[in-house]
Structure 1
Amino acid sequence: MPAPKRIEPTNLNEWFGRKIRDLRDARGWTQVQLGEEVRLSGSRIAQFERAEDVPPQDITELLDEALGANGLLVEIRPFLSRTPYQKWADEFVGFEAKAIRIQQYTYVVPGLLQTREYATALLAAGIPFFGGDLDEKVDLRMARQSVLDGPNHPWLRCVMDESAILRAVCPPDVMHDQLEHLLKECERPRVRVQVLPFSRNRMVLTGIGLATLWTFADGQTVVYKEGVNAGGVFVTDPREVSLFASVYDQLQSDALDTDASKAFIRKVLEENYS
């Protein structure tokens, strides 16, 4: 019986996916094993190999190193075709990685401090409405967390509404692990999390809950306002940026201090998720 006919790639994306697969096969790894090397799921590796998606820059670098590609994957990646969502994701992550201070007010656990299971539950709830690939969205969120250990080593300042630790966005065991993880992350010297209890929340400003303030080394502060689905807008007008910064300062002032916030989270963990 003749050997199965080899289907050759018809575009650069397919060639790139085939190269990942060939390099993986040469090492005798499964997709799951390669995923473990670069902190991704096996299904995500399969997407890359089938040319259904292109890995972000940081993941491409990890793949190149793990597979011993000697810089080939990194060199080719800029020439690959990207969907609008993928282009937006790269732009967002690249911008965030340059920040030296990140400030947020959130109604859920901040994305940079989420566990994979919590992020999966949270993002899965939106898939029926907004579509997209769940693994892709979760992997992107997890990859973003590397910014905290990146070269800029940014300060992270988060004010969490009390509802963030009470809202049942996931099963109790997942919430238990998430709150324990949150308390652990609070021990990082540059991470500051404050809880804003209902009793102290004097302002009802839902818009700022979809905004992130990034401050860069040159002193410039930019506000990123999220859209309902992927994408958003960057605000650079000094007057509008100043308004967001003033509102955030007020929320931070109204919130519990960091020690009281950790005690509050522990109390909820013990009473609701033990």
Structure 2
Amino acid sequence: MQSPISPSVRRRRLARELRRLREAHDLKLAAAAKASGVPLSTLSSIENATARRIRTRDIDALADLYGTTDDVRAALHRLTRESKETGWWSSYKDIFGSNALPDFEAEASMLRRFEGLTLPGLLQTPEYAAAVFRAGRAIPEADVERRVQARMERRNIFNRIKPPHLIAVIDEGALRRVIGGPTVMQAQLEHLKNMALRHHIDVQVLPYSAGAHLALAGPFTILDFPTPIDPPLVYVETAVDGLYLDQTDDVERYNVAFSNVQGVALSTALSFELIEDVLKSLEST
């Protein structure tokens, strides 16, 4: 089972704490760097949560400058150690890139996902995922299996003692678009039904009749974390990479968009019925 610790979440937490301490002493970034002896570029990268290698002596120098208690100093060092940990996703850097979505999923308490064209990756079967990756033959066949393995590994978050609550709003078109052929699609819809019965997974279908909505720009995920010190994060997929947004205004816009699509989507009960109807129509063809 994958580690519940997210190194990226810990880097963000360390960054906010060091920024808070600096601002509490009314110090500009350059002044804090000069007074502590920590290079300005290093301090900037730490406070921006982009530093991959954080030296113990730099943390001690900053703790000395800010006059922290022994407990706070120890907490800063703990966050530094945890920010260096590696999860299972580190072996899939060729798939996920340097900023791995599973890194954040590992510690998220809630995932709110809107999907318009395919079923959400966390709810896909291996066969359906393979068919998605094979679309347009843009990905070499040799890479398809590895991508499927990585996607299936992500599903292990639902096997945690306290799994995250997933709320998935799926456009009706994603249910009716036959990907991988009727047999693959039937198995996928059966799997979706089974997942929707789990107490920590809510599946809502956005029907065609809903018309225009605030998520027409495309799929996105809002990740919420169990403690207030870790603010929400938005993950937006693009054709070439994933974009992470954590500024308050950006997150709020996506919160509004998700609330809109969830509000006009069918209830979980009616969504389950629609999934069954689509499945029956496939079985009759």
What TM bracket, shorter-length normalisation?
Answer: 0.5 to 0.7
For the residues of structure 2 that align with 1:83 and 1:116, how far apart are their CA atoms?
17
| Paired letter, 1:225 | V
Aligned match of 2:244 = 234
Aligned match of 1:154 = 164
The CA deviation at 1:205 is 3.5
Q: What percentage of residue pairs aligned between the two structures are identical?
A: 31
Aligned match of 1:41 = none
**Aligned structure 1 segments of 4 or more residues deviating by more than 3 angstroms:** 81-84, 129-132
Aligned match of 2:274 = 264
CA RMSD of aligned residues (A): 2.4
Q: Structure 1: state its 5+ residue gaps.
A: 1-76
Aligned match of 2:233 = 222
Q: After superposition, where does 1:102-141 map in structure 2 within 5 Å?
A: 102-107=111-116, 108-125=118-135, 127-128=137-138, 133-141=143-151
The CA deviation at 1:150 is 2.2
Q: Which has the larger radius of gyration?
A: 2
For the residues of structure 2 that align with 1:142 and 1:169, how far apart are their CA atoms?
18
SS state at 1:207 partner = coil
Q: Structure 2: state its 5+ residue gaps.
A: 1-85
TM-score after normalising by structure 1: 0.65
Aligned match of 1:181 = 191
The CA deviation at 1:96 is 1.1
Q: State whether residues 92 and 150 of structure 2, in contact with CA within 8 Å, keep that contact through their aligned partners in structure 1.
A: no
For the residues of structure 1 that align with 2:139 and 2:168, how far apart are their CA atoms?
28
| 2:86 is equivalent to residue 85 of structure 1 | no
Q: State whether residues 159 and 193 of structure 1, in contact with CA within 8 Å, keep that contact through their aligned partners in structure 2.
A: yes
Q: 1:263 to 1:130 in 2, by over 3 A?
A: same
SS state at 1:125 partner = helix
Q: 1:165 to 1:100 in 2, by over 3 A?
A: same
Q: State whether residues 99 and 152 of structure 1, in contact with CA within 8 Å, keep that contact through their aligned partners in structure 2.
A: no
Aligned match of 1:254 = 264
For the residues of structure 2 that align with 1:168 and 1:87, how far apart are their CA atoms?
26
Q: State whether residues 97 and 150 of structure 1, in contact with CA within 8 Å, keep that contact through their aligned partners in structure 2.
A: no
Q: 1:204 to 1:248 in 2, by over 3 A?
A: closer
SS state at 2:170 partner = strand
The CA deviation at 1:169 is 1.8
Q: State whether residues 232 and 246 of structure 2, in contact with CA within 8 Å, keep that contact through their aligned partners in structure 1.
A: yes
